[in-house]
Structure 1
Amino acid sequence: MDCIDLFKKAAAAMQTDPRYLELDAARRMNDADEELQKMIGEFNLQRLDLNRASAEAEPDSARIAELNQKINDLYTQIISSEGMVRYNAAKSECEAMVNHIDAIINTAMNGGDPMTVQAPQGGCTGSCASCSGCH
């Protein structure tokens, strides 16, 4: 078995991690939330309207300001909804896990011992040339 096959097995194992399972559950919950999907659809329509209004030969600044306000209001509603709060928290946890995995891979690629890599702190991805993923 080569390293690609091993990484595929590791990726499948990652999909059984509680952090991934929470992200997947939050994603499915949001997909099934009709009110949230309605707001997202409205947000997208308002963005299209804003793009059209902005591209007009003589843009109506009052209309553009109104559309911007609607878009900002919808965005605030969407991002503060229970489902999106849950999703974003789970996404952050998964991103931290992926950053740790990335630090392990980069450490190994730089000749370091991947077994000693600790989870990166403070947004470190372990990808800089001198990093061993230990920041």
Structure 2
Amino acid sequence: MDIMEMTRELGKALQQDDRFIAYTLAKQANDEDKELQEDIARFEDLRINLGTAMSAEEPDSDSIKELDTELKAVYQKVMKNPKMIVYTGAQQALEKLVSNMQQIISMCANGEDPDTCQIPESSCTGSCATCGGCH
């Protein structure tokens, strides 16, 4: 088996992991929640409208303030939705798993022993330019 075949096998194993399954189920639940999807669409519309209002030749500060207030309210509603809370947690768990996998591969590519290399507790350097995602 060559390295690309092994990588595909790793991908299959990832898709069998409980964190991937939880993420997939949470995403499906969000996708099937009509009210949540309407709120997300409303948020996106408001975001676009706010951007347009802010970049207008003569920005209307009252309109911008109103759009910003409504945008924040819709965002809070979306983020407080129980399905979105579950989804966000599942997404973070999956992202951490994938990040850890990538770190191990990178360490091995730099010559570290695959059996003993350790993932640092925190790889945050404080610089978002080098960020692989929050943990």
Short-chain TM bin: 0.7 to 0.9
Q: How many residues align?
A: 124
Unpaired segments of 5 or more residues in structure 2?
A: 125-135
Alpha-carbon separation, structure 2, partners of 1:99 and 1:48:
31
Deviation beyond 2 Å, 4+ runs, structure 1: 117-120
CA shift, 1:117, in A, is 3.1
| 1:22 and 2:22 correspond | yes
* Segment drifting more, 70-79 vs 112-121: 112-121
TM-score under structure 2 length normalisation: 0.85
CA shift, 1:95, in A, is 1.4
Matched position secondary structure for 1:116: coil
CA shift, 1:59, in A, is 0.9
* Segment drifting more, 102-111 vs 113-122: 113-122
1:6-37 deviation line (CA, Å, top 9, x unaligned): 01111111001000000000000000000100
Unpaired segments of 5 or more residues in structure 1?
A: 125-135
Question: Which runs of structure 2 are paired with 1:29-40 in the superposition (5 Å)?
Answer: 29-40=29-40
Matched position secondary structure for 2:57: coil
By relative contact order (CA 8 Å, sep 6+), the higher-ranking structure is 2
TM-score under structure 1 length normalisation: 0.85
Identity fraction in percent: 33
Aligned position for 2:69? 69
Aligned position for 2:129? none
**Structure 1 residue identity aligned to 2:12:** A
* CA-atom RMSD in angstroms: 1.4
Aligned position for 2:48? 48
